Amino acid sequence: MAFISSGSSAAPAAKGAKPKVKGGFAAAQALAKQKAFEKKAGKYKLPLGELAIFTQQLASLLVAGLPLVQCLEALQDQTEDPVFRIVIRDVRADISTGNSFSTAVRKFPNSFNTLFISMVEAGEASGGLAEILGKVAGYFEASVKLTKKVKSAMTYPIAVIGLAIALVNVLLIFVIPVFAAMFADFGAKLPAPTQFLIDLSNFMKAWWWAIGLGAYAIYWGVGKYTATPKGRRHKDQFLVKAPIFGNLIHKIALSRFCRTYATLIRSGVPILRTLEIVAAASNKVQIEDACDEIAKHVSQGGQVSEVLAANPFFPPMMKHMVKAGESTGNVDGMMTKIADFYDVECEATVASLTSLIEPMLIVFLGVVVGGIVMAMFLPIFQLGAVAGGLQ
């Protein structure tokens, strides 16, 4: 009986030990993940779409009358992004210690951009944080919507071009050598297009690693150069004047400039601070130069339209509308109308580019792939002459 008793008492202990080990491992794994998320939170780059959702939800909760700390607590609980959840937690904890909302979010510049922080400052100064956050959310949503449309329009041509490059490489490296071995038995001179493709295939098979290294070196060098102030200026100037897409990039830059300026001015941000934020948010050297000129001119008593009129980057229609807004005291309203106009123009440009690119890509694929196929079958079409050495 003692043996049975000891065995029965040992069995439950053994059974109970496994859940402890599993539970301890799971807890350690969760703790390690939490530490990794916390380490990543300080430099976490929050997508603009997620920031737009967060801003809109925060504005709605504030309009409902909830205190800011309670709003952040609710958003922290419902946020699915584990890293951003830690960011919200730290912001809420910072506010609970007595710091302002703008001071707390300034500690996370990668998650909350300059525009968001400046608008929060303006909202705290005016006492209308909920209203201003609603305007910021609308601005972010408009920017995300326009970006998605441009990306969706670019996805198709990029995918087709990538597929064409992959297909050509497969033909050159794997298919053409089979034909080359077959043509070598003919013992006759091949047509020039066929010989060119065979030589190109042999070169790629022998030097594919050099081609890859060369492409990477070019990519790395261009990236390094465009990271310099001079290279960045050349890149922005090229993008605006580039064929096909340059007009679209120009309109997007103008729309972002006008909408950002209007949103900040309407929220009560001082004009010089507005110009600093607009320059930082534009990501275009042309806008940055214009904002610097406007800031100097305005500080001397001038008007914004006077600088725009002398800058070729801004179209005449925009200059006249801004001047009309200054004469009526409604610059922000005019800027909003200009931004809406260019948003519509961008959508129309994207639609026209999509309809234009599709036939161009079809012709491109037909010429490239069809040319390769025709060049490889040309000796077969001339089989009698090539095999008999009559050329």
pLDDT tens digits for 124-161?
A: 888 888 999 998 998 899 888 888 888 887 888 888 88
Task: Quote the pLDDT of residue 158.
Answer: 84
**What is the total count of domains within the chain?**
2
- What are the b/e assignments for 67-88, b being 16+ CB within 10 Å? ebeebbeebbeebeeebbbbbb
- pTM score of the predicted model: 0.76
Task: Quote the pLDDT of residue 188.
Answer: 67
Residue 56 lies in a domain: yes
- In the chain, the percentage of residues whose pLDDT exceeds 90 is 35
- What is the rounded radius of gyration, in angstroms, for the C-alpha atoms of the chain? 31
Q: Are residues 240 and 272 located together in one domain of the fold?
A: yes
Q: Are residues 252 and 350 located together in one domain of the fold?
A: yes
Q: Are residues 223 and 316 located together in one domain of the fold?
A: yes
Task: Quote the pLDDT of residue 17.
Answer: 47
CA distances from 103 to 38, 91, 117 (A): 19, 9, 8
Residue 34 lies in a domain: no
Task: Quote the pLDDT of residue 384.
Answer: 54
Average pLDDT, the chain: 84
Question: What CA–CA distance (Å, rounded) separates 101 from 104?
Answer: 5
Average pLDDT over residues 22-48: 78
Task: Quote the pLDDT of residue 16.
Answer: 46
Q: Is pLDDT at 390 greater than 50 in this prediction?
A: no
Q: Is pLDDT at 2 greater than 80 in this prediction?
A: no
pLDDT tens digits for 94-104?
A: 999 989 999 99
Q: Are residues 77 and 159 located together in one domain of the fold?
A: no
Q: Are residues 69 and 218 located together in one domain of the fold?
A: no
Q: Are residues 163 and 238 located together in one domain of the fold?
A: yes
Residue 150 lies in a domain: yes
- Whether the CB-CB separation of 314 and 290 falls below 8 Å is answered with yes
pLDDT tens digits for 285-340?
A: 999 999 999 999 999 988 999 999 899 999 999 989 999 999 988 998 999 999 99
Which residues touch 97 (CB under 8 Å, ≥6 apart)?
A: none
Residue 188 lies in a domain: yes
Q: What is the domain range of residue 55? A: 48-112
Q: Are residues 88 and 136 located together in one domain of the fold?
A: no
Q: Are residues 290 and 351 located together in one domain of the fold?
A: yes
Residue 280 lies in a domain: yes
Q: Are residues 259 and 334 located together in one domain of the fold?
A: yes
Q: Are residues 218 and 174 located together in one domain of the fold?
A: yes
- Whether the CB-CB separation of 204 and 169 falls below 8 Å is answered with yes
Closest CA to 42 of 91, 104, 114, 108: 108
Residue 33 lies in a domain: no
Residue 35 lies in a domain: no
- CATH number for the domain spanning 65: value is 1.20.81.30
* Torsions phi, psi for 301 (to 5 deg): 100, 5
